Amino acid sequence: MDKQPSGSEQIKELVKIPGVEPSARLDPWWWLVVLVIASVALLVLLIPDPYRRIYTFVLDGVYVTIGVTIVAFLFILIVGMIGGLGRLSKNKLIYGFFTLYVEIIRGIPILVQLIWWYYAFPVVIQGIGRALNIQALIGYQANAVAMAILGLVVCYGAYMSEIYRAGIQSIPKGQMEAARSLGMTYFQAMRYVILPQAIRIILPPVGNEFIALLKDSSLVSAVAVADLTRRGREFMAATFQPLPTWIMVALLYLIMTLFSARIVGWIEKKTKFER
Amino acid sequence: MAEEPIIQIKNVHKRFGAVEALRGVSLDVYRGEVVVIIGPSGSGKSTLLRCINRLEEYDEGQIIVDGIPLDSAQNINAVRREVGMVFQSFNLFMHMTALENLILAQQVVRKRSRAEAQEIAYNLLVKVGIPEKANAYPIQLSGGQQQRVAIARALAMNPKIMLFDEPTSALDPEMIKEVLDVMLNLAQEGMTMVVVSHEMGFARAAANRALLMDGGLIIEEAAPDVLFTNPKHERTREFLSKVLH
């Protein structure tokens, strides 16, 4: 007697495209990443003056951009989760607090927020210090990188809250009811049942947020952080070569964003599951 | 009967806005009893069932399950640990295999070891007849198979009571029997069951009592044979004439 294929094997049979192994197909957009990297390498190697000089000058800015983006993003994922759950809370105080947060933050341009945290927030701290006569607060000086990350986290956390909220709401109500009917608490049900499913659904928008953050991180150049954009401006000011400088800066941003987009696409494919 | 009922429902009212879904329902269910509730849609039968494990809050009255009144968050969780529920739409956890569906609450709520939970889970899948689907995801299972996994998932918690909310209504006709067989088996083992369902065959074979609900009230209550063939109330007769062809 022939062995009956199991359900999962049957499904695998159905989705298999003849002649093409899904894992063997490389996403053709990877070639765009390779192309941009190659053009930077060619410029640096073939026209060392000015491209090699620009490249070496702005390279530490690339590291700052990557560092600020990744650190901020890790905090944004946490703030977004808390904000998303807060926006779904039945407790009116918690709901009101997080709704107010989201509404206010979304109504102020991100550049204004970054400037606020770096220039205005310290004045508030110093004022409190004077009022309470606390020496440590009177002498408070803002750390540019810390304030830039704080500003990005507060701003993007609000947008991320809405993504989490939508993701959690997209999970059918029956999933929570089934978990609760088994005796799980609300938080256990969230942790083991709702969030694992919601996170897979919100992965594409979360990935887009990462790429948007990578680009918006160029705004921290306005608040004394020596990121890629600021290093480009410094080089231009010193050499008066705007065209090659900004060609190089733009290409470096492109490498980072295109590469991130491919990684996001790859993760999406890996975690996809049928509903 | 001298024994205390395992479920005591006393004059429960439930309103959804202006609509009164339950208008003073009282019901006692004794240990080992199987009670089937029938009634038209909107009669409050599902709402009543969902009040027993407090998935639905009620506005007035009292429900006591196994001596525990449903009045605090702590008590509600204590009751839910003892009361299994099976839903019309199965509600299996979509991101987990059948086996993982059965293991999760055992570990998180009952604090069993992984090995112990896994063994209980596997034995229950054998009991509902689909051990070969242990590693299948819900999407890979038929409706009947999903519902059997859902029943096994509830049983993994060793409940004292099982609630069934229209367990076969979302199933294709040829899959209804496999689910009813599992339920029948459970009833014969002495499980206390409250079943919202119009499966007359199951009610006749397994139920001690059948109830007809309409307009948020229990209209009539009798042994299933009596209720289905010789009902006292006009409303029951009218309903049955539409259901039985």
Question: What pLDDT sits at residue A26?
Answer: 65
Query: Chain A partners of B157 at a C-beta cutoff of 8 Å?
Result: 182-183
Answer yes or no: is pLDDT of A3 > 50.
Answer: no
Q: Residues B67-80: what's their mean pLDDT?
A: 91
Q: Residues B5-34: what's their mean pLDDT?
A: 94
Write the residue in B95, B135, B154 that is nearest to A196 by C-beta. Answer: B95
What is the C-alpha to C-alpha distance for residues B15 and B110, in angstroms, rounded to an integer? Answer: 34
Phi-psi region of A4 (alpha: psi -120 to 50; beta: other; left: phi over 0): beta
Q: Which amino acid would we find at residue B7? A: I
Interface residue A184 vs chain B (CB under 8 A): yes
Is pTM beyond 0.90? Reply is: no
Closest CA to B122 of B88, B95, B151, B98: B98
Closest CA to B146 of B94, B183, B109: B94
Answer yes or no: is pLDDT of A180 > 80.
Answer: yes
pLDDT tens column, B82-103:
999 999 999 999 999 999 999 9
Q: What is the DSSP string of A240-257?
A: --HHHHHHHHHHHHHHHH
pLDDT tens column, A214-230:
999 999 999 999 999 99
Query: Chain B partners of A274 at a C-beta cutoff of 8 Å?
Result: 137, 139
pLDDT tens column, A18-63:
444 455 456 788 889 999 999 999 999 999 889 999 999 999 999 9
Q: What is the DSSP letter of A140?
A: -
pLDDT tens column, B39-49:
998 899 999 99
Interface residue A188 vs chain B (CB under 8 A): yes
The residue whose two tokens read 């205005």 is: A120
- Asked if A149 contacts A68 with a C-beta cutoff of 8 angstroms, the reply is yes
What is the C-alpha to C-alpha distance for residues B95 and B138, in angstroms, rounded to an integer? Answer: 8
What is the C-alpha to C-alpha distance for residues B37 and B79, in angstroms, rounded to an integer? Answer: 21
> What are the two backbone dihedrals, phi and then psi, of residue A258, each rounded to the nearest 5 degrees?
-65, -40
Mean pLDDT of chain A: 89
Question: What pLDDT sits at residue B243?
Answer: 80
Residues making up chain B, counted from first to last: 245
- Asked if A175 contacts A193 with a C-beta cutoff of 8 angstroms, the reply is yes
Is A174 close to B77, i.e. CB distance below 8 A? no
Question: What pLDDT sits at residue A25?
Answer: 59
Question: What pLDDT sits at residue B245?
Answer: 59
Measure CA of the first residue to CA of the last residue in chain A; give whole Å: 33
Closest CA to B136 of B101, B79, B97, B82: B97
Question: What pLDDT sits at residue B71?
Answer: 87
Query: Chain A partners of B166 at a C-beta cutoff of 8 Å?
Result: none
Question: What pLDDT sits at residue A1?
Answer: 39
Answer yes or no: is pLDDT of A272 > 80.
Answer: no
Question: What pLDDT sits at residue A15?
Answer: 45
Element (H, E) at B163: strand B161-165
Q: Residues B148-155: what's their mean pLDDT?
A: 97
Q: Residues B116-141: what's their mean pLDDT?
A: 96
At CB < 8 A and 24+ separation, what contacts does A165-170 make? Answer: A165/A83, A165/A84, A165/A87, A165/A88, A166/A202, A167/A84, A167/A198, A167/A199, A167/A201, A167/A202, A168/A84, A168/A85, A168/A88, A168/A194, A168/A195, A168/A198, A169/A88, A170/A198, A170/A201
pLDDT tens column, A155-169:
999 999 999 999 999
- Asked if B197 contacts B49 with a C-beta cutoff of 8 angstroms, the reply is no
Mutation target among B49, B55, B80, B95 for the A interface, most CBs of A within 10 A: B95
**Torsion sign, CA atoms B179, B182, B183, B184:** positive
Q: Residues A239-247: what's their mean pLDDT?
A: 94
Answer yes or no: is pLDDT of A13 > 50.
Answer: no
Answer yes or no: is pLDDT of A2 > 50.
Answer: no
What is the C-alpha to C-alpha distance for residues A66 and A62, in angstroms, rounded to an integer? Answer: 6
Query: Chain A partners of B53 at a C-beta cutoff of 8 Å?
Result: 181
pLDDT tens column, A119-129:
999 999 999 99
Question: What pLDDT sits at residue B242?
Answer: 84
Mean pLDDT of chain B: 93
